[in-house]
A and B are shown apart, each in its own frame.
Chain A
Amino acid sequence: MSFLNAILVGLKEIWAHKFRSVLTMLGIVLGVSSLVAMSAMVQGMENGMKEALVAIGGLQKMRVEAQSVPVEQRHMKDFATGVTLRDVQALLASAPEVEIVSPEMRLESSPTLAANGKTHRTFMTAGCWPVQLEMVEHRVEHGRMFNELDNEQARDVCVIGTGIRDELFGKPEETGEEIIPIGRQMSVNGYPLTIIGMFERYEGEQERRQRELEQEENAARRAAGPAGAASGPKRSRGWGGGSGRRGNWAFWIKNNTVYMPLNTMWLKFKSGQTNLPPEPRLSNMEIRIRDVDKIDLALNQIRNVLMVNHRGIEDFSFRTQEDWADQIQTAVKNARLSGGFIAAISLFVGGIGIMNIMLASISERIREIGIRKAVGAGGLDIFVQILVESMVIAVVGGAFGLVASKAVIWLISEVTPTDNAPIMTIGAMGFAFGFSVLVGVVAGLFPALKAARMNVIQSLRYD
């Protein structure tokens, strides 16, 4: 019997028992759709995380932070200098694998910003060098970044992110036009600075689309008049979603940054503190290395230079993004494994359903199998026929499952909205479909074997 013929016979058999077949297929439909939906959600989550990783600078970046002297070195505590500008210069001079070093001096506790008659407490207010721009991949869209001269002379200038602008001067979505506060005054903890630049707005793909949509809606609403007021607060969830409408937290932090020249920070904000050490203590410094592949070599160089500079006192620590990247990988892997496992189980249960129905089907058809064999069907013909029938159920179920997965994803994102929109990949769909076919084959194997082995005479006598 030709394969095509076997498929035809299989389809007829399934059509002859419509209700039963549909019920059996349902198991496969659910299994496939949950597998695809699960993978789409993990994919969405992974994309969100990767965007965040890129936003904070990738693997080439590492950070040296001041740390309290370890216990075994307590006796040398008084010699501990902390991370200083001397370290920055030493690294630039003596560690060839280091490309950029960017010192950062932050204001502790969240400082109060005031401008335009409004106040706002923020947390990312730091003094730095112009090179910081390159380091954390900021782009100034309006005005300019402060330069070496601004730093040298400790000028009272600052560059802000759009988030700060939104808080103090108003969001473009609400005011209807984008306010560019270049040249305006803003006070930090009461000390006035002039805003000379503003970064571009950082956001993920998903956020941008959402914002653009909202902007259009707002414009339409304004055109329609004041009647259509915004309806209640919105909720959003998801990995990296933070809270409220902030979107991915990595972007949110970048948007809420205030930078001023390092010297301004040191002289105008830190000099009031008592016991100021002879050198400006940095909160941390960020380092970018030339080559990710030589990360170990670079780490060694940095370590050696710093150890010499610190006279062997380990009052600093490294933090690389590798840990972060690893965490992302692990989180994604875990989600994929546990989700995949559960979905695979439901597909497996679907397979058991198929096997069950195929066994019922062959014991209903013992006589038919006997007749087919009596007129010349070999064991292989019967085997193929039963196997094809079970595969047809699985294939049709799998195909419907792919369609249903779209509905499942839609349902899930309706019930629990997330900022990481699920992404259906062809690969995941192919895998789920292939897996369902495999389940069909495996489920059909035993019934097919059983049918193929039936004795002709006994089957013919069976009633």
Chain B
Amino acid sequence: MALLELRNISKIYHLGGEEIRALDDISLDIEAGEFVSIIGPSGSGKSTLMHILGCLDSPSLGSIKLDGTEIGKASQRELAQIRNRKIGFVFQFFNLLPKLNVVQNVELPMIYSGVGGRERRARSVKSLELVELGHRLRNRPNQLSGGQQQRVAIARALVNDPRIILADEPTGNLDTHTGEVILALFRRLSEEGRTVILVTHNPEIAAVTPRKIEIRNGKVATKVDEKLAGLDRQPTPVSTPVS
């Protein structure tokens, strides 16, 4: 049984009588421990798919099973709990709270899972050390570089020890070098056994992931665009040390 089972998933938006099928009858399985990249042209529905995978949104049609339980029709409260416990989401624009400092931002998911204050702090620090930001605990997000902010966001995604890490263009706002650092992090997470799913426009990143899913016009493309998937180039082993 696959970790994630999508069957005939559609997401339909209605704009002034016009029907937009952001996702159109998508079926796919993702096994536990897979490292997947989702590619496709802009507006094809990648983010929409990620939101549904990440329980941030519900599909209009179809069923989605996480760990064998149907979540397509789950209530908002149940979805919030799944997001909290099983999924770590990394956004393109980091989405850190500017009023909180680095540790407080990382503590946030645990506040909603009822972890006590002391353990919360300890786990946040550990998680931040994992992304090598153990020395910037008291900084505000706006005092950090983009790459550092994204690492804080990753630390936050990891702090409740989720099985699935989802990242929607995590390197889209970063320069190539910083992007490689972040990518190395995701690779390590995948090697640790977590399921990692990335959305990317960058063929170099897609080239690193063993599995590539291409979305086109809301559907899974049967044949992957080689250029976009980075299949035309040698997968360069990412070995840049994290800095």
Interface residues of A (CB under 8 A from B): 1-2, 5, 12, 16, 367-368, 370-381, 456-457, 460
Contact = CB atoms under 8 A, between A and B. Distances in A.
A376 B113 CA distance: 8
Interface residues of B, number: 24
Interface-central residue, A12, A367, A373, by most chain B CB under 10 Å: A373
28 contacts: A12-B99, A16-B99, A367-B95, A368-B97, A368-B99, A370-B95, A372-B97, A372-B108, A373-B83, A374-B56, A374-B95, A375-B84, A375-B108, A376-B80, A376-B83, A376-B84, A377-B80, A378-B76, A378-B80, A378-B112, A379-B77, A380-B77, A381-B112, A456-B57, A457-B51, A457-B57, A460-B56, A460-B91
Contact of A1 (B77, B96, B111): B111
A252 to B, nearest CB: 66
B212 interface: no
Contact of A5 (B83, B91, B111): B111
B201 interface: no
A379 B80 CA distance: 8
Given A378-B112, A379-B76, A380-B77, A371 B99 contact: no
A377 B114 CA distance: 11
Contacts of A2: 114
Interface string B98-116: 0100000000110111100
B81 interface: yes
Given A375-B108, A376-B83, 14 more contacts: A1-B111, A1-B112, A12-B99, A367-B95, A371-B97, A372-B112, A374-B83, A375-B109, A376-B80, A376-B84, A376-B109, A378-B81, A379-B76, A379-B80
Contact of B112 (A367, A368, A375, A456): A375
Given A377-B80, A378-B112, A371 B56 contact: no
Nearest to A460: B95
Contacts of B51: 457
Contacts of A374: 56, 83, 89, 91, 95
Interface in B181-208: none
Nearest to A370: B95
B85 interface: yes
B235 to A, nearest CB: 32
A457 to B, nearest CB: 5
B43 to A, nearest CB: 14
A373 B91 contact: no
Contacts of A375: 83-84, 89, 108-109, 112, 156
Contacts of B83: 373-376
A5 B116 CA distance: 11
Contacts of B89: 374-375
Nearest to A371: B95
A79 B50 CA distance: 108
B23 to A, nearest CB: 13
Interface in B67-96: 76-77, 80-81, 83-85, 89, 91, 95-96
Contacts of B91: 374, 460
A385 to B, nearest CB: 10
A381 B112 CA distance: 8
B196 to A, nearest CB: 18
Interface-central residue, A372, A374, A376, by most chain B CB under 10 Å: A376
Interface in B41-73: 51, 56-57
B158 to A, nearest CB: 12
Nearest to A13: B99
A378 B95 contact: no
A415 B53 CA distance: 70
A10 to B, nearest CB: 13
B204 to A, nearest CB: 27
Nearest to B159: A375
Nearest to B113: A376
Nearest to B82: A376
A378 B108 contact: no
A382 to B, nearest CB: 10
B77 A376 contact: no
